[in-house]
Amino acid sequence: MSSSAESKMVLAKTVLSTVGSVAATAMVVRTVVNEFLPPELHEYFFFGLKNIFSRFSNQLTMVIDEFDGLVNNDIYEAAEMYLGNKLSPNTRRVKISKPEKEKHINITMERDEEVTDVYNGQKFKWVWLCRRVESRDFYNPRDLNSTQRSEVRTFELTFHKKNKDLVLNSYLPYIIREAKLQKLESRAIKIHTVDHENMYDSQSMNLDHPATFETLAMDSELKDKTLKDLDRFVKRKDYYRKVGKAWKRGYLLYGPPGTGKSSLIAAMANYLNFDIYDLELTELMRNSDLRRLLVATANKSILVVEDIDCTIDLQNNLANRANDSPSNSSNQQESKVTLSGLLNFIDGLWSSCGDERIIIFTTNHIEKLDPALLRPGRMDMHIHMSYCTPCGFRLLATNYLGIREHKLFKIIEELIETAMVTPAEVAEQLLKEDEIEISLNGLINFLHVKIKEKEDAMFRKVEAKQIETNEKKESDEKETEENLEEKRLPNQES
């Protein structure tokens, strides 16, 4: 055997001996610690050892928590999406999903897995850590997965210390940009609802509503005005900041049932690619729940409160329900959602906790609303969803029957102007028959019936008014006769 081979063998034996000695020493230390130190001190001991060894390391680790206080951490969300496309062949476990309306299969890291990314020729190691928290008071703001409400989730990014400026000034901004592009390409619009008992235990599903502004049977001028207002809003982030206003917009949709208020909301969401949060305020017990609910909603979203007039009417019921609770006897003022709390929810200080939000109220009876809800800055644009118009009928005929002109259109348009029917009622009639001629004649018959019902209702109203007038007249005459009789009796006695 040559001298070089012998020297290599000696070196190998020395290395193996050293490694064995270190391993044996580590086992002895671990045994001593476990046997002689209280369990409470174990974590501090090993944490101290880790700090000692880290002083000699050239690696730096950045911790990226899921939340920054009560609000989400944009870097965490961006990393979660970005790393799904960076999984290495050595990755053992991944999570996959595919919502029905999304184009691609979503791949994300599984907990405690590692991913190595290369940027500008430098290596960066990512680890996703999840720690269970048993405290019943702990919650994750805006966490839509009820199975993970007691988890603290964190990314750890480890790299060479010399690359710190590269990470802060180039790598992380690059990840945020890439994640936004991926989100726009694959994102499906979702509708969320919030459980009033577990505020952050929310449910969501893909919004599968086909409504668009092209299919809405509403006045064309009002439709164009709404579209322009939406376009102006999403382009004015810097303008809102310059004038000192929160980047939000309020819309009040009012009109009879069946005039398309819900369809307009869905069309807005589809047009802007915004999620919808369906907020049921009557289920909330106090104003503080409103603030927590607002924090639980994401940016680029539409917050919807349907039938706001019913929400206001139910305040007494909310107060009574709160008074029945023994735990609220000393907190009566905070035991119900008030109009003041609702106004603060719309345009108070807490309403600025988020960007690019649209708040929509709907009502069938605008006259029931408090004027404080209607002023600009709270409900910036009032949209009257009226009964079906001739223009709306033509759009519905195009959508449902595939025709733009017919000899019966003129008759139908004349009837619609006086029938006071909703777009939903017209659409229902057009759905009943596949044959165009039969369908349009069926609509004509329906409109005649509605006009007859309207005339009968007006006749009954006039008749009731006349009966009321006659009864009042008879009552007045009877009262006059009684007064005269009372005056005659004293005269006769005298």
Q: What is the DSSP string of 321-373?
A: HHHT-GGGTT-GGGSS--HHHHHHHHHSGGGGSSSSEEEEEEES-GGGS-HHH
Residues in the chain: 494
Which pLDDT band, with edges at 50, 70 and 90, does 254 fall under?
Answer: very high
Mean pLDDT on 32-43: 61
Q: What is the pLDDT of residue 3?
A: 64
- Is the pLDDT at 413 greater than 90, yes or no? yes
Which pLDDT band, with edges at 50, 70 and 90, does 412 fall under?
Answer: very high
Q: What is the pLDDT of residue 225?
A: 95
Cβ(239)–Cβ(251) under 8 Å?
Answer: no
- Is the pLDDT at 459 greater than 60, yes or no? yes
What is the rounded end-to-end Cα distance, in angstroms, of the chain? Answer: 158
Please tell me the pTM assigned to this model.
0.66
Per-residue model confidence as pLDDT tens digits over 171-216: 999 999 988 887 776 667 888 876 555 544 456 777 888 899 999 9
Task: Compute the distance between CA of residue 410 and CA of residue 403 in angstroms, rounded to an integer.
Answer: 14
Task: Compute the distance between CA of residue 187 and CA of residue 275 in angstroms, rounded to an integer.
Answer: 10
Per DSSP (E only), the strands in 66-149 are: 67-68, 71-72, 94-97, 106-109, 114-119, 122-132
Q: Work out the number of other CB atoms within 10 angstroms of the CB of residue 400.
A: 16
Which pLDDT band, with edges at 50, 70 and 90, does 272 fall under?
Answer: very high
- Higher-pLDDT residue of 40 and 151 is 151
Question: Which 3 state secondary structure label does DSSP give 400?
Answer: helix
Task: Compute the distance between CA of residue 32 and CA of residue 42 in angstroms, rounded to an integer.
Answer: 11
Mean pLDDT on 98-115: 73
Cβ(380)–Cβ(251) under 8 Å?
Answer: yes
Parse the chain into domains and list their residue ranges: 29-135+147-186, 192-316+336-384, 390-471
- Is the pLDDT at 242 greater than 50, yes or no? yes
Return the ∠ at Cα 74 (arms to 71 and 77), rounded to 5°.
Answer: 105
Mean pLDDT on 12-20: 66
* E strand or H helix at 475: helix 436-493
- Higher-pLDDT residue of 452 and 132 is 452
Cβ(447)–Cβ(439) under 8 Å?
Answer: no
Mean pLDDT of the chain: 79
From residue 408, give the alpha-carbon distance in Å to each of 101, 389, 394, 429, 461.
39, 16, 11, 15, 33
- Specify the fold of 192-316+336-384: Rossmann fold (3.40.50)
Mean pLDDT on 458-463: 83
